[in-house]
Amino acid sequence: TMTAAVAAFRAGEQPDIVQVFEVGTATMMAAEGAIYPVYQLMADTGEPFDPNAFLSAVVGYYTTPDGKMLSMPFNSSTPVLYYNKDAFRKAGLDPEKPPRTWPELVEMAKKTQAAGYPCGFTTGWQSWVQIENFSAWHNLPLGTKQNGFAGLDTELVFNKTPVVKHIANMGEWQKSKIFDYGGRRSDSAPKFYNQECVMYMNSSAAYAGVKNNAKDFEFGIGMLPYYPDIEGAPQNSIIGGATLWVLQGHPKEEYEGVARFFSYLSSPEVQAWWHQETGYLPITTAAYELTRSQGFYEKNPGTDVAIKQLTYKEPTENSKGLRFGNFVQIRDIINEELEAVWAGTKSAQEAMDSAVARGNKLLRQFEAQYK
């Protein structure tokens, strides 16, 4: 979509709005002249707009260093832990207590395996969950320059952090099916739905899918596990999902319509409905409060875990988001290297060294293109 939008802009056929996922932010920001920043749009059209109404953990990803909102977040999510409460009961575990730490998760996985479940846990979106969010949750840098927020001359550094030890652990766990790999995106979901794996880490927006498919057992939702020996953990998780960018080159009346549409999308009622139906996050404090006052969290235990985790602590330079150019391609590289670890053909250190070296080449290309 992002590439198509840029091509359409060059051809003078661009839409008013384009939806781009979160890791496309650096590329969209670099497309100067093509973007009509949201803060500017709202001011120019006179549409009432309060940037402070939005959750800082959500909009921080899409703002300038001085806090101006560039795009309108819409479908924002963060990863959580889904777990099979029935399996916990069968293994003699407390179904209301998901694992808080990685050592606890491993012990629980072994107990559920002893109770007859083949696999302890699986994960969706492995780069996003097990490297990008792992780093934020443990307050570790993924790259220099505030994860790219402070300059295009950023470099990836996750081959020098506890990420390496975590990936090495996962490689070991894969051998005994404490962890079982199911694919790069959400391909692993069936392993959880069919009760092969007892725990499943994926987006809060997977909630609708889990609710519709996990018909034969009761499930719960917990926060991502952390390593208690890493100082500062847990910190806060970061978002995924997408945001709405406005493109230049349209008449004023259309932009007035876009501004009104954004006001509608971010209204408490619409955001609360969207959050409750899908598991995506409410992007404003008002939508969160409305959902709470409607009793949704009481009736659906665990649905507030994502928001609590995202706002667990005030974001740091390591945990407010990522702003790396060419990051879509870098994620593909990370996936390739992780798969080499799961297959046993590379050590975690070799794989992360290779991912960082290959990724940094793409960052230098991006820097040269947009400097």
**CATH code, domain carrying 53:** 3.40.190.10
Taking alpha carbons only, the member of 87, 85, 104, 103 closest to residue 95 is 85
| Band of pLDDT at residue 16, cut at 50, 70 and 90 | very high
Q: How far apart are alpha carbons 274 and 205 in whole angstroms? A: 10
Average pLDDT rounded to a whole number, residues 97-120: 99
Taking alpha carbons only, the member of 104, 109, 158, 149 closest to residue 131 is 158
The number of beta carbons lying within 10 Å of the beta carbon of residue 224 is 24
221 shares a domain with 353: yes
What letter represents residue 82's amino acid? Y
Domain membership flag for residue 271: yes
| Band of pLDDT at residue 305, cut at 50, 70 and 90 | very high
Domain membership flag for residue 150: no
86 shares a domain with 72: no
pLDDT of residue 1: 80
- Residue 251 makes CB contacts below 8 A (sequence gap 6+) with none
Could you give the residue ranges of the DSSP H alpha helices within the chain? Answer: 2-10, 25-30, 38-45, 56-59, 85-90, 102-114, 126-127, 134-137, 144-147, 163-175, 189-193, 207-213, 252-265, 268-278, 285-293, 296-299, 305-310, 327-343, 348-370
Provide the residue range defining the domain that includes 251: 2-76+238-310
332 shares a domain with 217: yes
Above pLDDT 70, what percent of the chain?
100
Taking alpha carbons only, the member of 269, 280, 244, 241 closest to residue 259 is 244
Where on the phi/psi map is residue 145: left (φ > 0), alpha (ψ -120 to 50), or beta?
left
The number of beta carbons lying within 10 Å of the beta carbon of residue 4 is 11
SS3 label, residue 156: strand
57-71, 175-189, 211-225, 315-329: least confident range: 57-71
Domain membership flag for residue 178: yes
Domain membership flag for residue 70: yes
Burial environment of residue 95 by CB neighbours within 10 A (0 to 12, 13 to 18, 19 or more): middle
As a whole number, the mean pLDDT across the chain is 97
Tell me the pLDDT tens digit for each residue of 151-193.
Answer: 999 999 999 999 999 999 999 999 999 999 999 999 999 999 9
What letter represents residue 193's amino acid? Y
Q: How far apart are alpha carbons 87 and 1 in whole angstroms? A: 41
The pLDDT of residue 66 is above 90: no
By the 8 A CB rule, do 202 and 123 touch? yes
Tokens for 14, please give them: 């661009």
165 shares a domain with 21: no
332 shares a domain with 207: yes
By the 8 A CB rule, do 74 and 243 touch? yes
Domain membership flag for residue 318: no
| Band of pLDDT at residue 32, cut at 50, 70 and 90 | confident
212 shares a domain with 342: yes
4-18, 94-108, 339-353: least confident range: 4-18
Average pLDDT rounded to a whole number, residues 348-359: 99
Average pLDDT rounded to a whole number, residues 228-251: 97
Torsion sign, CA atoms 124, 128, 132, 133? negative
pLDDT of residue 325: 97
8 shares a domain with 98: no
pLDDT of residue 10: 87
| Band of pLDDT at residue 6, cut at 50, 70 and 90 | confident
The pLDDT of residue 2 is above 90: no
20-34, 99-113, 256-270, 283-297: least confident range: 20-34
**What is the C-alpha end-to-end distance of the chain, expressed in Å?**
24
Tell me the pLDDT tens digit for each residue of 202-228.
Answer: 999 999 999 999 999 999 999 999 999
By the 8 A CB rule, do 243 and 22 touch? yes
Number of domains in the chain: 2
Average pLDDT rounded to a whole number, residues 274-285: 96
20 shares a domain with 84: no
